[in-house]
Amino acid sequence: MPSLASSLRTAFLLHAGLSAAAPAKRSGPTCSDINLSVTISAENRVIPDYLLSGLTSTTLSLAGVEQLLNGVGNELQLAIVNGTYNIAGRFCEPEVHIPGRSDTIQLLVHGITYDRNYWSGGGSLTGWEGSDYSWLAHASAQGYPTLSIDRLGNGLSDHPDPITVVQKPAHVEVAHQVVQALRFGAVGGRTFNKIAYVGHSYGSLIGNTLAARYPADVDAVILTGFTNALKQAIAGVVVSPLGAPAGLVDNDRFGNLTLGYMAMSNEIGARGVFYTNTESEWDASIVHRDWLDRGTYTLGEAVSTFFVNDVAADFDKPLLILTGHKDQIFCGVALPLLGEADCTGYFERTRALFPVADYHTKDIANTGHCLNFHYSANETFAAAHDFLDGAGF
């Protein structure tokens, strides 16, 4: 359990506007937009000046990243951040009723550059290609309610200070409060007795820390696009997609955002770290749509990725690591010009983060970091839901 000095004090004020429950049998999920007002207190990091200097240029300071990689980041000061924020999301009732699943819900938390639509196949609730790349559609057909949120600083959620507020500790506290909302009836008009946390990439980093800090919060965890080896790829992640101030990258879309919100500026580099080198393993039109619809991340999020190895010593529940075999970010160095990444061996190494969990892994062949948008997407969805079914969900 966390020490008193590192504990985060939280409270929540929740409200949700939801439509009335639909009939048990439907065509596709029935979804409603919701808003949750969450009050958090988080122990964030003070971002050093040598990283802030990159905000006035077209690229983030690689020299600053190297200082963090060399351990300077361990000396960063802590700062308590308090606030109340609006978290937007999409609550979906499934199209079929399966006994025992109406009080079970999947909490879906997206990665960097995405929002809730990552889980619906991109772009909107209906997806770019209907249900072909939709986790929501698969969950609905299996009888699972879902709540997909826009993380703080993303989508329709509040966009507070990107340097001091939008960091991983704050995201963990937001997730903790969303879980409380699900437990106490603020979403869907009922309480949920079983909650499966499902994260992708940065959402998985949040899930790792949530399991470490609040091991009783959820009943199962699925971490997609994740291992314990992110640190080796951080420099490549900076170099390949060329993260830059969002307003400089696309002033029409991001010009209203505070300095410190960042965006990828190189389409080829972004494709290289999110997808495999093998073009037959993904649809080029989907990959381009992914680029056009990309969102932002914050400098605070980027720095807080350097503190990623949280051992969930007390989390003893079912857990699945579900990662593409060629994931450049979590199984490589995020430099695709050096060749494909290879996740062999990484799953067993990652077990050290969850020493007492009911630990499961799935290596998805012919797939890179962005699992949901490869041709193998439905294999990914099936593996996740087979895991939940096998765990009694």
pLDDT digit string, tens, across residues 20-38: 333 345 678 999 999 999 9
Predicted confidence at residue 6, as pLDDT, reads 40
Predicted confidence at residue 337, as pLDDT, reads 87
For residues 69-108, one letter each, b for 16 or more C-beta atoms within 10 angstroms of the residue's C-beta and e for the rest, the string is eeeebeebeeeebebebebbbbbbbbbeeeeebbebbbbb
Bridge partners, 30 (sequence order) = 93
Predicted confidence at residue 334, as pLDDT, reads 87
In the chain, the percentage of residues whose pLDDT exceeds 70 is: 87
For the beta sheet containing 297-298, the strands, ordered from the edge strand earlier in sequence to the opposite edge, are: 243-245, 261-264, 297-298
- C-alpha distances (whole Å) from 194 to each of 121, 220, 223, 303, 334 are 25, 8, 17, 33, 36
Q: Give the mean pLDDT of 193-210.
A: 98
Q: Give the mean pLDDT of 177-203.
A: 97
Q: Is residue 229 a contact partner of residue 212, using CB atoms and an 8 Å limit?
A: no
Predicted confidence at residue 123, as pLDDT, reads 85
Predicted confidence at residue 9, as pLDDT, reads 39
More confident residue, 174 or 243: 174
Q: Which of 30-44, 65-79, 208-222, 346-360 bottoms out in mean pLDDT, i.e. has the lowest?
A: 65-79
Count CA atoms within 13 Å of residue 233 on its CB side. Answer: 28
Predicted confidence at residue 73, as pLDDT, reads 54
More confident residue, 73 or 366: 366
Predicted confidence at residue 71, as pLDDT, reads 53
Q: Is residue 153 a contact partner of residue 166, using CB atoms and an 8 Å limit?
A: yes
**Across the chain, what does the average pLDDT equal?**
89
In this predicted model, what pLDDT tens digit does every residue of 260-312 receive, in sequence order?
999 999 999 999 999 999 999 999 999 999 999 999 999 999 888 877 679 99
Is the pLDDT reported for residue 169 higher than 50? Answer: yes
One-letter amino acid for residue 185 of the chain: G
In this predicted model, what pLDDT tens digit does every residue of 88-113 receive, in sequence order?
999 999 999 998 899 999 999 999 99
**Rounded-to-integer distance, Cα 93 and Cα 98, Å:** 12
**Cα 147-185-390 angle, rounded to 5 deg:** 55
Bridge partners, 243 (sequence order) = 264
Question: Considering the entire predicted model, what is its pTM?
Answer: 0.91
Q: Is residue 231 a contact partner of residue 74, using CB atoms and an 8 Å limit?
A: no
**In the chain, where are the structural domains located?**
4-390
CATH code of the domain occupying 4-390: 3.40.50.1820
